[in-house]
Amino acid sequence: MSNENPTGKVARDAAQGTEQARKVLVTGGGGYIGSHTVLSLYAAGYQPILVDNWSNSNPVVLDRLETLSGMRPMHYKLDLRDAAGLNEVFTNNEIDSVIHFAGLKAVGESQHMPLEYYDNNVVGTLNLLSAMRGGACSKIVFSSSATVYGDPESVPITEQASLRATNPYGRTKLMIEEILRDLSASDPQWEIAILRYFNPVGAHASGSLGEDPNGEPNNLVPYIAQVAVGKLKQLSVFGDDYNTADGTGVRDYIHVLDLAQAHLSALEVLVPEHGCKAYNIGTGRGYSVLEVIKAFELASGQTIPFEIKPRRTGDIATCYADVAYSKKALNWQAKFDLQTMMADHWRWQKQNPKGYSE
């Protein structure tokens, strides 16, 4: 474990009055959703403390966060599977609550490396929960995924829909959800919010924080963005024979800044007797692959060449959230529309054609 914490910067942060702020441990805080949430935490007056092993992110993000927030994030380079290191973090900091993003997230990769996924995601989470218990911290917001609904019986999907993940990645999310429900049932002290994200896209409006996939992107919008910037030649559209309006897959895309805000709302609802609750985090409306391409073309002024290819194994036709419960219970609602998501994603890609590795 290493704690790069340049003393001058910390002193300055303290001088700015963050000493009294509630400390929120953000696992995976260097990643795509984590980094945006760190910024929102600063804006709301919390003191985020990042833990990341940088396996799927770049420490340059710390410089970007410092520029945007005026604060150098306190951070530990640490793998969640390092139980002793994690315990030390809780011993050395009075952590109020945890937002747990750290995990591997590629569906295809998880099918080739299931053991690595179970080890990283499930063992990492068990260590985290044990360290929290040792450090007397019982509030956690967990990054789950709409993938736990598998191929849903109907849309929009409510939180009561049956849970049945269809790949190892999804099963790690489902297992962690079950662990959290068991933990909550065992001890009412735990205050747990499970956020089931739909399809996060977009970037901070400055264009200096965004999604920076390793290698060829698996997801639609990062792929389109790399075609638009000239890094990739053309997009493959996986199937145009689904039972949807134009035959291509329909998903509930949500702006990463709306997602970040949902974590703040979730932290607010964590109170004793909260128990363990799951919330859908989406916009409540779906867009097809062709609609997304069109919106990105409009935002970027670029033509996105594409070819219709066979369906991708494991894909479903349509997936979008029923957000009535999260709206009411979290007092939260997504604000950004598809066009803004695409414009912000494009700004990030255009300003950082090679992601953080320039």
Residues that bind ligand NAD (CB under 6 A): 28, 30-34, 52-57, 79-81, 101-105, 120, 124, 143, 145, 197, 200
CA nearest neighbour of 157 among 21, 25, 280: 280
Q: Distance between CA atoms of 280 and 161, rounded to whole angstroms?
A: 11
Segments of 89-165 assigned E as strands: 97-100, 139-145
Nearer Cβ to ligand NAD (218/308): 218
**Residue among 237, 257, 304, 334 that touches ligand WQD (CB under 6 A):** 237
10 burial class (0-12, 13-18, 19+ CB within 10 angstroms)? middle
Residue 199 Cβ, how far from ligand WQD at the closest point, in Å?
5
Q: Residue 202: which of ligand WQD, ligand NAD, none does it interact with, CB under 5 to 8 A by kind?
A: none
Q: Are 261 and 40 in contact (CB under 8 A)?
A: yes
Q: Are 126 and 179 in contact (CB under 8 A)?
A: yes
User: Which residues within the stretch 19-48 sit at the binding site for ligand WQD (CB under 6 A)?
Assistant: none
Assess 236 for contact with ligand WQD (CB under 6 A): yes
Assess 345 for contact with ligand WQD (CB under 6 A): no
Nearer Cβ to ligand NAD (219/247): 219
Q: Record the tokens describing residue 117, joined without a space.
A: 């996924």
Q: Distance between CA atoms of 278 and 195, rounded to whole angstroms?
A: 6
Residue 96 Cβ, how far from ligand NAD at the closest point, in Å?
20
Nearer Cβ to ligand WQD (49/106): 106
156 prior amide bond cis, ω within 30: yes
Nearer Cβ to ligand NAD (103/156): 103
**Residue showing tokens 């410092």:** 66
Active-site residue identified among 32, 76, 117, 169: 169
169 catalytically annotated: yes
Nearer Cβ to ligand NAD (218/247): 218
Q: Tell me whether strands 250-251 and 287-288 are parallel, antiparallel or unpaired.
A: antiparallel
Virtual torsion, Cα 251, 257, 260, 266, nearest 10 deg: -80
User: Which residues within the stretch 107-136 sit at the binding site for ligand WQD (CB under 6 A)?
Assistant: 107
Which residues are near ligand WQD by CB under 6 A?
105, 107, 145, 147, 199, 218-220, 223, 235-238, 249, 251, 289, 312, 315
Q: Which residues are known catalytic residues?
A: 169
